[in-house]
Chain A
Amino acid sequence: AQKVTQAQTEISVVEKEDVTLDCVYETRDTTYYLFWYKQPPSGELVFLIRRNSFDEQNEISGRYSWNFQKSTSSFNFTITASQVVDSAVYFCALARNQFYFGTGTSLTVIP
């Protein structure tokens, strides 16, 4: 069975703090893809990153970084020096043919 768990339902941080959003997944497949999407208050899902199961190299893009660890089936997302514009719901997803989304983490950055 495929499953994505985002245990943090809501997180609030003060602007400029760092924050990590957790994602744990379950799959029996050896080849799969992991994604993070952002859903701002406007509602439209925005793609952030895609990783395949054979590439555990961590990635940094500006203030965003991702830590993929197959040993713990985790794909965590860190925002450094958070800003108010980062306030949104963030979804982690696992894909093989169809996509399985977690329930999302609502991040509020307080000015």
Chain B
Amino acid sequence: GAGVSQTPSNKVTEKGKYVELRCDPISGHTALYWYRQSLGQGPEFLIYFQGTGAADDSGLPNDRFFAVRPEGSVSTLKIQRTERGDSAVYLCASSPSGGGSYEQYFGPGTRLTVT
């Protein structure tokens, strides 16, 4: 079956612009996670959805970052007033349920470059 997909695969934007990154989880997976991965680092947790609601958004670095999952499937990560420090690979993962009791299936990521 189809895995987790993310679009776009690459995004280059200018400092100060707004960007949206999209994640399509595996069908039927209720849990969805966003991570940010900088070069040479492990994935850094941003936010976790269980269904339509954000169960844990403690990893969002500041109020420029926001994510939604209005129908409990596709999720969009939104970044306002982008800064050069936001440049990273943004990873999405889904799992059948949350809480760590299931493995996460990762998408290929969106490489964001802020110039």
Q: Which residues of A contact B (CB under 8 A)?
A: 4, 32-33, 35, 37, 43-47, 50, 52, 91, 93, 95-104
Contacts and interface: CB of A to CB of B under 8 A. Distances in A.
Given A43-B109, A45-B43, A45-B91, A98 B48 contact: yes
Interface of A is mostly: strand
Contact of B42 (A50, A98, A104): A104
Contacts of B45: 98-101
Interface of B: 33, 35, 40-45, 48, 55-56, 58-59, 89, 91, 93, 98-109
Given A98-B58, A99-B33, A104 B100 contact: no
Nearest to B99: A97
A8 to B, nearest CB: 13
Given A4-B42, A37-B106, 18 more contacts: A32-B100, A33-B100, A43-B89, A43-B108, A44-B107, A44-B109, A91-B42, A95-B99, A96-B100, A97-B56, A99-B35, A99-B100, A99-B104, A100-B45, A101-B35, A101-B44, A103-B42, A104-B40
